[in-house]
């Protein structure tokens, strides 16, 4: 049941209607709806989801009622969650690696089916167990906890939600608020446009280039790489927008997951803007437990590299994902070294995060130029790293990178022509440029929330739906479904 299909729209409308018509049955109804949504992909997945939910809930209660064994329960929870994730996601990878090395007793095929959303709901279950161990209150209601783990808008691809963010909302009486509902519809339609108009349009070019890494000239290869950068952002942020929009329509607020990441001026800033809920999860449950920045600069650097490398492996069982994470870890170290090297110098003054307009006029041009170059350099690095994220293997990735600098070649027009692709790239750029100022967003939120503009909102929604219908490219599933 893809978010970008009419089936999901009808399903969501039914869920929303019953949710507000029978508010006293909201939690059981949403649990049922969430399981129907998840089981529609494959009924076999239900056993796994129930096991992860029931196991982590019982462990949370055990830490409350048997506090002397709290360490035992949290270790059991961590081992069970990581073991579950490791078996379904990495067992085949381990066997393939052993087979390629010629180790005795290894087999190239295990036949494991990767359940949808396993990386996300196991992370939520794991964070709950660890938070209860650290002193957070355990969830007493099995239905509320089951809904926290299985809440269908964010079940398959996030955002990764903590129990203290969602469970209190589930247990609190939620009254219907027209402004919240309207902003939810706005977010949902915004996500639909991002997915079917932009992301799927970019996919036509990126699939063409990455499908034949050495078969195109430099111009087409560069266009394919940039289109993949646009595709993965529009695709993943679209899922988040739809999830958050559906959540608001049901009366609940999910955390923000993206904040115009291609405006970042450094790799560190990129990870404060990209997949924000994963970044904070890695920080709180991996980087800090490893020691964080408390054990000297050398240990801090090592912890950063380990965290980012494991973050890459979380995305997929492949050495290309490991290298992608390692590249970002090394980039964080290089950026940190640059910050330490330029501390107290005029360069640090140019790189400050204060608004450009706050700078004295003589420095204004230099500050703007420096920050523009920093943004461009960060974007180029991110695109370079995306090659390893997207390519199926190292040979394909290296072949494609080689094509970037060979010159020549023609631009091949996908179905619909290159004109629509360029328009999509311009739309992506304009969106980010508007994000340089908070004023457009504030005006839009004020517009959405005022009832006086209801007819205008309806017009905008109608235009969004028309754009999805008229400008949509070849439909495809969301990229992060595979993780």
The structural domains of the chain, with segments of one domain joined by +, span 6-175, 180-482
Token pair 């969430």 is found at: 34
Asked if residue 435 lies in contact with residue 441, where contact means CB atoms within 8 angstroms, the answer is: yes
pLDDT of residue 153: 93
Question: For the whole prediction, is pTM greater than 0.85?
Answer: yes
> In angstroms, how far is CA 226 from the centroid of its own chain?
18
Residue 178 tokens read as 């027209």
Asked if residue 115 lies in contact with residue 88, where contact means CB atoms within 8 angstroms, the answer is: yes
CA–CA dist 187, 190 (Å, integer): 5
Q: DSSP code of 137?
A: P
Q: From residue 226, how far is each of 385, 396, 429 by CA, in Å?
A: 12, 17, 12
Q: From residue 373, how far is each of 192, 338, 351, 378, 386 by CA, in Å?
A: 32, 15, 11, 8, 20
Three-state SS string across the chain, please? CCCCCHHHHHHHHHHHHHHHHCHHHHHHHHHHHHHHHHHCCCCCHHHHHHHHHHHHHHHHHHHHHCHHHHHHHHHHHHHHHHHHHHHHHHHHHHHHHHHHHCCCCCCCCCCCCCCCCHHHHHHHHHHHHHHHHCCCCCCCCHHHHHHHHHCHHHHCCCCCCCHHHHHHHHHCCCCCCHHHHHHHHHHHHHHHHHHHHHHHHHHHHHHHHHHCCCCCCHHHHHHHHHHHHHHHHHHHHHHHHHHHHHHHHCCCCCCCCCCCHHHCCCHHHHHHHCCHHHHHHHHHHHHCCCCCCCCCHHHHHHHHHHHHHHHHHHHCCCHHHHHHHHHHHHHHHHHHHHHHHCCCCHHHHHHCCCCHHHCCHHHHHHHHHHHHHHHHHHHHHHHHHHHHHHCCCHHHHHHHHHHCCCCCCCCCCCCCCHHHHHHHHHHHHHHHHHCCCCHHHHHHHHHHHCHHHHHHHHHHHHHHHHHHHHHCCCCCCCHHHHC
Asked if residue 124 lies in contact with residue 161, where contact means CB atoms within 8 angstroms, the answer is: yes
User: What does the pLDDT profile of the chain (483 residues) look like in tens digits?
Assistant: 677 677 888 899 999 999 999 999 999 999 999 999 999 888 888 889 999 999 999 999 999 999 889 999 999 999 999 998 888 888 777 777 776 666 655 555 556 677 888 889 999 999 999 999 999 999 999 999 999 999 999 998 879 999 999 999 999 988 999 888 988 988 898 888 889 888 988 998 999 999 988 888 888 999 999 999 999 999 999 999 999 999 999 999 999 999 999 999 999 999 999 999 999 999 999 999 988 888 788 889 999 999 999 999 998 888 999 999 999 999 999 999 988 888 777 677 667 655 665 566 666 777 778 888 999 999 999 999 999 999 989 999 999 999 888 766 677 767 667 888 888 888 888 888 777 655 555 555 555 555 545 666 667 667 777 777 666 766 677 777 766
How many C-beta atoms lie closer than 10 Å to residue 314's C-beta?
Answer: 19
Asked if residue 173 lies in contact with residue 255, where contact means CB atoms within 8 angstroms, the answer is: no
Three-state SS string across 89-111, please? HHHHHHHHHHHHHCCCCCCCCCC
pLDDT of residue 452: 47
Residue 353, C-beta contacts closer than 8 angstroms, at least 6 positions apart: none
Residue 98 tokens read as 């052993």
Asked if residue 220 lies in contact with residue 167, where contact means CB atoms within 8 angstroms, the answer is: no
Of the residues 216, 315, 328, 335, only one is catalytic, namely 315
CA–CA dist 136, 255 (Å, integer): 19
Length of the chain equals 483
CA–CA dist 304, 292 (Å, integer): 8
Residue 54 tokens read as 């029931």
Token pair 């970042």 is found at: 264
Active site residue 315: yes
Dihedral pair phi/psi, residue 413, rounded to 5°: -85, 125
CA–CA dist 255, 275 (Å, integer): 11
* Burial of 407 from C-beta contacts in 10 A (0-12 / 13-18 / 19+): exposed
């Amino acid at each position: 049941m893809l978010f970008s299909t009419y089936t999901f729209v009808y399903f969501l409308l039914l869920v929303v209607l019953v949710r507000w018509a029978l508010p006293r049955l909201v939690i059981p109804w949403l649990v049922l709806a969430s399981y129907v949504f998840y089981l529609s992909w494959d009924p076999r997945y239900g056993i796994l989801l129930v096991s992860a939910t029931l196991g982590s809930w019982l462990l949370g209660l055990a830490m409350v009622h048997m506090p002397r064994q709290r360490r035992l329960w949290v270790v059991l929870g961590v081992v069970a969650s990581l073991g579950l994730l490791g078996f379904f996601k990495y067992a085949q990878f381990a066997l393939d690696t052993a087979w390629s090395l010629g180790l005795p007793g290894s087999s190239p095929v295990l036949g494991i089916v990767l359940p949808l959303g396993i990386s996300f709901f196991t992370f939520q279950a794991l964070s709950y167990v660890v938070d209860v161990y650290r002193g957070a209150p355990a969830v007493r209601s099995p239905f509320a906890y089951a809904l926290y783990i299985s809440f269908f808008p964010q079940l398959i691809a996030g955002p990764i939600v903590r129990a203290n963010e969602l469970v209190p909302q589930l247990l609190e009486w939620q009254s219907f608020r027209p402004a919240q509902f309207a902003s939810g519809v706005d977010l949902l339609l915004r996500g639909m446009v991002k997915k079917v108009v932009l992301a799927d349009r970019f996919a036509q070019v990126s699939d063409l280039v990455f499908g034949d890494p050495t078969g195109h000239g430099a111009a087409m290869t560069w266009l394919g790489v940039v289109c993949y950068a646009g595709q993965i952002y529009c695709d993943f942020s679209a899922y988040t927008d739809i999830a958050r929009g559906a959540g608001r329509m049901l009366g609940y607020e999910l955390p923000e997951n993206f904040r115009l990441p291609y405006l970042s001026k450094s790799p560190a800033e990129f990870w404060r803007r990209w997949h924000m809920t994963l970044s904070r999860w890695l920080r709180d449950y991996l980087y800090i437990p490893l020691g964080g920045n408390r054990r000297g600069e050398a240990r801090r650097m090592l912890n950063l590299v380990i965290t980012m490398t494991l973050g890459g492996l979380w995305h997929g069982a492949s050495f290309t994902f490991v290298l992608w994470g390692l590249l970002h870890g090394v980039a964080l170290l290089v950026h940190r070294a640059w910050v330490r090297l330029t501390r107290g110098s005029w360069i640090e003054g140019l790189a400050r995060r204060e608004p450009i307009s706050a700078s004295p006029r003589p420095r204004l041009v230099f500050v703007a130029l420096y920050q523009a170059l920093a943004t461009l350099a960060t974007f180029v690095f991110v695109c370079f790293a995306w090659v390893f994220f997207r390519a199926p293997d190292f040979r394909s990735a290296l072949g494609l990178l080689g094509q970037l600098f060979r010159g020549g070649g023609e631009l091949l027009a996908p179905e619909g022509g290159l004109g629509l692709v360029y328009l999509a790239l311009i739309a992506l750029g304009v969106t980010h440029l508007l994000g340089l100022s908070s004023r457009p967003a504030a005006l839009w939120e004020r517009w959405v929330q005022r009832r006086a503009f209801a007819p205008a909102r309806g017009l905008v929604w109608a235009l969004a739906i028309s754009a999805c219908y008229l400008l949509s490219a070849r439909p495809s599933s969301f990229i992060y479904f595979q993780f």
